[in-house]
Every structure is written in C-alpha cells, then in structure tokens.
Structure 1
Amino acid sequence: MKVPLEQLKREARQSQKLAEREMQLASSGLADLAKKQSSISAEEYTHAIDGLADKLRVLRRKLEDSKQEEALLISRSRQRAADLNELSGFTSATQPEFQRWCRTRLERVLIDYMLRSGNVDTAKLLMEKSNLEHFADTSLFALVMSTEHELREQHSCRGALHWCAENRGVLRKIESSLEFELRLQEFIEMIRAKKSSEAIAYAKKHLTAWSDTQLPRIQRAMTLLAFSPTTGCPPYKHMFDVARWDGLAHEFRMVIFKLYSLPSQPLLHLLLQTGLSALKTPACLSDDPSEHNRNCPVCQTDTLGKLAQGLPLSHHSNSNLVCRISGEKMDEDNPPMRLPNGYVYSLISLTDMANKLDGKVKCPRSGEIFSLADAKKLFIS
C-alpha cells in the first residue's frame, strides 16, 4: 500500500516545485519587461512575450502529464485497498472466492520476485495474463535495476546522485549516508585517475558538508592523496577496492526499499521461509544423508534447504513419527516397526517391500536384509 502512496507524494512535490519555479521565472521575466518597455522595440518586446508564453505552454504539458501519473497512482491505491477489503469479507478458507484471492496473491508474489530478479519481460507476461498491472511496482524496480547496473557495470554515480538530490529531505529523516558514500566514491575515482587537484576541489565542495557526522572518514579519504591505488595498506587498500561499487549498489537497493517499506528479501522467500520453519527439525541438519527425509523440503540442501539455513528449529509439543521410506505418518493405522538393527519404518512400507522381495525387507540405511517376521511393533506413547 505504501509504494503508490509514496510515489504520489513524490509526484505531487515535484509538480509543486516545478510550478512554483516556472511561475516565479515568468513573473520575474514580466517584471523585467515592464521595466524595459520604454527602452526596447515592439518587435523585441513581442519576441520576449512569445518566449514566456512558450515556457508556460511547456509547463502546462508537464503538469498535465503529472496529473495523469497522479491519477494512475490514485487508481492503483484504490485497487489495492479494495483487494485488502475483499479479504476481510471471507468467512471460510474453503470458499471458492478465497481460493481465487489466494491464487491472485501467489501471482503477485511471483511478479514481485521476477521484478526484483530482473526478469522484467516474464513479469510483464504474467501481469498481462492475470490483469495485475495495478499490483506491480514496475517503475520502482526498473529504477532500482537501472541504477544498480550503472553503479556495478559503468562505475558511475550520476543516476544515484540525481535520485539522492530529489529525495534529500527523506534521506535526512532516516539518517541515511548514501549520498556521502556516493560522493566519497567519486572522490576516490578522481584520485585513482591521478586528478589530485580536481579531487581536492571536489572534496571541498561536496565532502566537507558532511564533516559533522563523517569527519574521521573524510580525514582518512584525504589521506588517500598520499597513497597509490595499488597500495597494500589495509584501510586504504579497502577504499581503493573496486568491490565498493557492488556495496554501493546494494546500499542503494536497501535504502530505496526502506523508503517504500518493502522487505529486503523477495516476498516469495519470506513466505517459503515461514513454511520451512514449521518443518525444520534437528534431523534436517544431520551431515549423514541417510538421516534426511526425501519428502522433507528442508532436507533438500541444494534447493529449498538453502532458504532454511538461518531459520530456527520448529517447536512441536506433540511429535509426529514419519516413515523414512514412504514419508507417511506412523500412527495406530500404520504403526512403527523396529528392525533388528534398531532402525524404525512403517508397517505399510515394510509390508510392500516384503511383497516384492519374497518376505524379506532391506534396510535402506544399512543395507541389511531381514525377514518381515523379525520386525517388532512399537507403541507410541
């Protein structure tokens, strides 16, 4: 809900600033013409008036475009609010309407994941198919991706600094130092290019403004003038490291997500982790692959298990026994059976195996072969 609202506020602020600036320039121009009216020719006077009129027409077109963008954002906010309001009207999880709502939510989550990952074309196809354009923050993620590309690949801070200039007031409220980090990087690149005099002038103009909060770092940055980009001295070697560009791209993403109240991780990851945390047990962490359950997503260490690495173990007041062979729950209808080697499997799984092996069962973990009659029934308490 907050993304279109913040975009609407930003659009309104920019429109207001644009209108105030252009109207002030027009008023100043008219005042100057009034003073010079007696000293200039009628042709010059007419030309100046036409110039002011052209500028006002351009302003009108820009304000009309801005008004259309604001209307689009208002419509998007209304549609998202209506979707939330629809959820409050469901009385049962089995309602067809609720199932449809959940399907739409899943598609929204997938679109969010695709946009964050840079798969814009695939996201647009899903948006068009599901008619969910009003739920996708395409312009926001496009800005993030283009700025990150500029920082990582082109090693340029131009786009990021332009964005910081437009949002300086908001960045000040959240006490973000993103603009300082970008200015510092431009200073470092000047030193790398051996433009010492330009670097000093740049520092006086842009870095000294941060001396109240970043003085130690500014002093260290100025010391870079005495070092070569190939220096091995740890503090200055780190500042010359080109990996700083990746860090700046990541920080830009985190700051813009914070401003729009978006999670740092994709919603898909958050929802998957919520489910995985309910399934994670100590057995999932075992280094012995034989201890892993083939039907447990957390045990699949090369796929979903990666998402579950930092999650806590699930808490169950009442444990459930699950058969290692079939992945089915063991209870009074499918009791656990203990083999002579100590491993436990369900009766149904052992019976199916015995029917295929002439009354014999083979332990999948140890490879030992026993008779089905050797298995002892266990009782759950």
Structure 2
Amino acid sequence: MVDEASKINHDNHLLLDQPCLRLPYELLRKNFRSAHFQFEKESTFVKTLLKETANGSLNGKTSPQDVVKNLDQMLAKMRGLKRKLTTYAEEENRLYRQIDARVAHLHELASVSTVDDVKYEAWSRQRLDRLLVDYMLRHGYNSSAISLADDKAMRDLVDIDTFVVMSKIRKSLEGGSVQEALAWCSENKKELRRMQSSLEFMLRSQQFIEMIRANSQPEIEAINYARKFIQPFHDTYPEEVKQLSGLLAYRPGTEPATYASLYSASRWQKLADKFVEEYLKLLGLPMVPLLHIALSSGLSALKTPACHSARSQGQGGVAIKNKSSSAAAAAQNGSNDTTTEPSLSSQPRQHHGTASLTTRVCPICSTELNALARNVRYAHHGKSRLLEHDLMLLPNGRVYGKARLDEYAAKSGLESGRVKDLVTGEVFDAAEMRKVFVT
C-alpha cells in the first residue's frame, strides 16, 4: 500500500511546469503570424505588379523591356519570400522538437507514483537543472546557462533563445539605447496595444528627452519628433505629454524640481525593468524565476514565527523550534511575519554551540535561506503527527514534551521538582512551566 505522504500529486507538480509547455505554443503562434504577414505582403505586391504588367502589355502601354524588368522584379520578390518562409519553417520545426521533448519529459513524471521511486529522483534532478538554467538566463548569466544546458543535454527543455533576446535588449536599455526595444515594440505592436502597455510611450519619451539633452537650444528636429511620436499619446497620457512638452523650455541643470526626474539617469534602469516585465507578460511567463517559486513552497512549509525572531537571530540565545507546534500556533492565530529584521550580517556572532546547532536543525534559520524566506508566508498545518504529548513551555520560550523533560532531568541527576533545557542546559523549577495546548 502506497503511503499517502510519499504519493506524488501530479497536478501540483505540473503547476510549476506550465511555462515549460506554454512558451513553445506562444512562439509558434508568433512565428505563424510573422510568416503570414510576410506572405501577404509579398504576394500582394507581386499580384498587383503582375496585374499592372499584364494590362499594360495588352494595351500596348508597357514596352517588352519593362515587362521583362517587372518579371525579374517579381521573381526576386518570390525568391526573397522563399528564403524568409524557409527560415520560418526551420523555426517551426525547432519549436515542434521542443514540444516533443517537453511532453516526453513530463510524461516521465506520469509514470512515477511515489517520491521514493528512483525515476522520480532522476526526474527531479533534471527539473532542478532546468530551474537553474531559467534563473541564470533571467539574470543575464547566458554563458553559464548555455554551458549547463549543453552539459546536461537539455537544450530543448529550456528557453535559451528567448531569454538571450530579452537580455540583449535589456542591456541595450541599460546602456542608453532605445533602438532595439523600439524595434521589438514594432514587431509586437498589436499584442502590446491589446495589453494596454505603456512601454512604447516610455521609450519614445526617453528618446525625446535625449534629443533635448543633446542640443543646447531646441531644434526643429525635436519638435517634429514630438509631433510625430509623442502627440499621438496625448489622449492616453495627457499629463505626461504636457510635462514632456515643457522640456523645450528647460535645459538640463536649469530645470525646476518638477522636471528634474525626467533628466534623471535612473530612468534607463526603470525602462529596462519595464521592458522585462512586458516581455515576460507577453509570452505568458512568470515575473519571478521558477526557482524562487519552487523554493517558496518548500520554505513556507518549514517556516515558523521563531525563524525570524530576535531569539533565533542571536539576541538573548538561540531557540531550537518544534516545527509542528509553532506552525500550528501560527495557523491558529493567522499571523504573518512582516517585521523588518536586521540583516544577518549585522547580528552578533554566537560563541556558544547553540547557534550552529540551530542552523543544522532548521534550514530556514541558516544564513543562506533566512533572508530568502523572510517574505514567505507561513504554512497552514491543520494537524501534525510530530507533536509530543503533554507539551510544556519553559520560561526561556522553548517547548518540550513533559516525559522527555522528566527523563532528561533524571539522567542529569536533578532533584525532584527541577527540569533542565535539553539544548541550553538551563535549569528551572517545574512550577515555572506552563502547559501548551495546540488546536
């Protein structure tokens, strides 16, 4: 009989892997739209030119030399269309290959029923490698991500090309250039309009600002640019357009505080962040790395209020927590930790053995995971099989089962009516203990 605790919930696993399947289909749709646009554009041109050439030849208005010239032009257009369609076909085959590989990868999970299965361990390791590649690609570590994907032979399971394009445009924005981002907006104009995105307006605004910054006096070029690219957004962003128009009267360094933010260099980073947000939203990808999403569920399952308490941070001793009792208490009162704690690096170093013991017992209290888990919610535990019977609360805030305290007191040779903390070694009167009730 399969233990319920080790049984795999396939639906929950697939929640994390939705982008793995969704993205190739989104790219297939985009590839098809691009191919269809090119076909319609070139075929319309050829049909129109063919009709004009045929009519002119029949009416005698087109000379034989012009007919031959038009035919050569039509052939050149069709050859160019063939090359473009070949490229789109290759991209389509690549995406279908990705879909097949990803479906096969997820099908392996369907054949596994418990986490104890050897196949599940291998599958989980491969998924962890995918999450690491996704994390590195999102943060611009493209070379490392490609090396890992090639080393694990899973190029078809990760979206390297998609994130490389995103990283390239993001770096161009951080470097002070909007050309590549504007070209991307032009390619996806319909989708961005449907999303009511403000990215194109922000890019056009920044380009206008840079034109004003580059000239000591307002030039007709900047005014014409504003009329062509800024004015059409007046109905959607009236206040922003008015503010941009005011830049024609103020040079950098002489502007009032109202316009100072428009000349700020920090706008480039905001543009880069906005582009990444719209890029991921357009493709249906989550805004945070999949690795963080996977970690958050595990961190939430382990996190208790004591993980970020002053006691566990090294102020007044370190608490070894009973995870089940703390989580049950948090679930009962519905609390959530939103207090801003000092960083771990600012905490005084522990010179006794309890700090190292805490980090070994509780992963959330470790230096590596404590900060990452700070904003994660506590898990809701309806019941726990790990609670000891007859729990008692010591004056120092630690909770143990009464039988274990009595046994430890006897082994330590304490007189009757005295108990000893199993971790810190502190001794208390039994009358100072309080009974703990967990509902």
- Regarding TM over 0.5, the answer is yes
Give me the whole-angstrom Cα distance separating, in 1, the residues matched to 2:396 and 2:196. Answer: 63
Quick one: which of 167, 173, 184 aligns to 1:145? 167
**Distance apart, 1:232 and its partner CA:** 5.8
1:297 to 342, 351, 363: 363
User: Contact (CA 8 Å) 2:308, 2:370: kept in 1 or not?
Assistant: no
Candidates 140, 165, 170, aligned match of 2:186: 165
Cα separation, 2, equivalents of 1:222 and 1:343:
65
Higher mean alpha-carbon deviation, 23-32 vs 138-147, is at 23-32
- Displacement of 1:40 after TM fit? 6.3
User: Is 1:103 aligned to residue 125 of structure 2?
Assistant: yes
Mapping of residues 299-378 of structure 1, within 5 Å? 299-300=365-366, 302-316=367-381
For the 8 Å contact 1:337–1:376, the answer to whether it is kept is: no
Q: Does 1:205 align with 2:217?
A: no
Residues 286 and 21 of structure 1, relative CA distance in 2, 3 Å threshold: same
**41-50 or 166-175, which deviates more:** 41-50
Aligned ranges for residues 39-188 of structure 1 at < 5 Å?
42=64, 45-153=67-175, 155-188=176-209
Task: State the distance in 2 between where 1:380 and 1:251 align.
Answer: 50
2: CA distance between counterparts of 1:227 and 1:261?
41
Counterparts of 1:287 and 1:369, CA distance in 2: 19
Distance 1:143 1:274 in 2: 30
Correspondence 1:239 to 2:249: no
Shift of 1:311: 1.8
Q: Distance in 1 between matches of 2:246 and 2:100?
A: 54
Checking the alignment, whether the CA contact within 8 Å between 2:138 and 2:289 is kept in structure 1 is: yes
**CA distance in 2: counterparts of 1:231 and 1:276, whole angstroms:** 51
Specify whether residues 166 and 342 from structure 1 end up closer, same or farther in structure 2 by C-alpha distance, changes over 3 A only. Answer: closer
Residue from 213, 218, 242 that aligns with 1:192: 213
Q: How does 1:247-258 map to 2 (within 5 A)?
A: 247-258=270-281
Change (3 A) 1:287 1:210: same
Q: Which deviations, in whole Å up to 9, do the C-alpha atoms of 1:238-275 show, x marking residues without a partner?
A: 11111111001101101111111211111111111211
Question: What does residue 345 of structure 2 align with?
Answer: none
RMSD (CA atoms): 3.4
SS of residue in 1 equivalent to 2:359? coil
* Paired residue type of 1:95: D
Offset, 1:188 = 1.1
Q: 2:100 & 2:258 partners in 1: Cα distance?
A: 51
Aligned to 1:21: 41
The alpha carbon displacement at 1:51 in A equals 3.4
Q: Deviations over 1:66-91 (max 9, x none)?
A: 11111211222233233334433432
Helix, strand or coil for the counterpart of 1:213? coil
Aligned length: 356
Which string of whole-angstrom CA distances, capped at 9 and with x for unpartnered residues, describes residues 291-331 of structure 1?
Answer: 3632323223x5322221212234445689xxxxxxxx995
What letter corresponds to residue 60 of structure 1 in structure 2?
K
Partner Cα separation in structure 1 for residue 255 and residue 378 of structure 2: 44
1:262 aligns with 2:285: yes
Residue type at the aligned position of 1:309: R
Is 1:109–1:268's contact at 8 Å kept on the other side of the alignment? Answer: yes
1:67-124 deviation line (CA, Å, top 9, x unaligned): 1111211222233233334433432222222222222211111111121122222222
Q: Distance in 1 between the 2:66 and 2:264 partners?
A: 58
Residues 206 and 126 of structure 1: CA distance in aligned 2, closer, same or farther (over 3 Å)? same
**Residues 319 and 87 of structure 1: is their aligned pair in 2 closer, same or farther, counting only changes over 3 Å?**
closer
Structure 2 letter corresponding to 1:268:
L
> Would you say the 8 A contact 2:393–2:436 is kept in 1?
no
The change in CA–CA distance for 1:57 and 1:317 in structure 2 (over 3 A counts) is closer
1:30-78 Cα distance to aligned partner (Å, 9 max, x none): 3343455456665554344333322311211211121111121122223
For residue 138 of structure 1, report the CA deviation from its aligned partner.
1.1
Return the alpha-carbon distance in structure 2 between the equivalents of residues 59 and 230 of structure 1.
Answer: 52
Question: Whole-Å Cα distance in 1 between the matches of residues 105 and 132 of structure 2?
Answer: 17
Separation of aligned partners in 2, 1:232 and 1:82: 60
The aligned counterpart of 1:282 is 305
> Higher RCO, 1 or 2 (CA under 8 Å, sep at least 6)?
2
Number of the residue aligned with 2:250:
227
Contact 2:174/2:268, CA 8 A, preserved across alignment: yes
Quote the offset at 1:181 in angstroms. 0.8
TM-score calculated relative to the size of structure 1: 0.81
Q: Which amino acid is 1:172 matched to?
A: R
Q: Could you state the TM-score of these two structures normalised by the residue count of structure 2?
A: 0.71
Distance in 2 (CA, whole Å) between partners of 1:308 and 1:174 is 33
Unaligned runs of 5+ in 2: 1-20, 320-357, 413-419
Matches of 1:99 and 1:171 in 2, distance apart?
A: 41
> Which residue identity lines up with residue 105 of structure 1 in the other structure?
R
Question: Per the alignment, do residues 113 and 29 of structure 1 end up closer, same or farther by CA in structure 2, a change over 3 Å counting?
Answer: same
Q: State the distance in 2 between where 1:342 and 1:220 align.
A: 58
What is the alpha-carbon distance in structure 2 between the residues aligned to residue 284 and residue 117 of structure 1?
Answer: 28
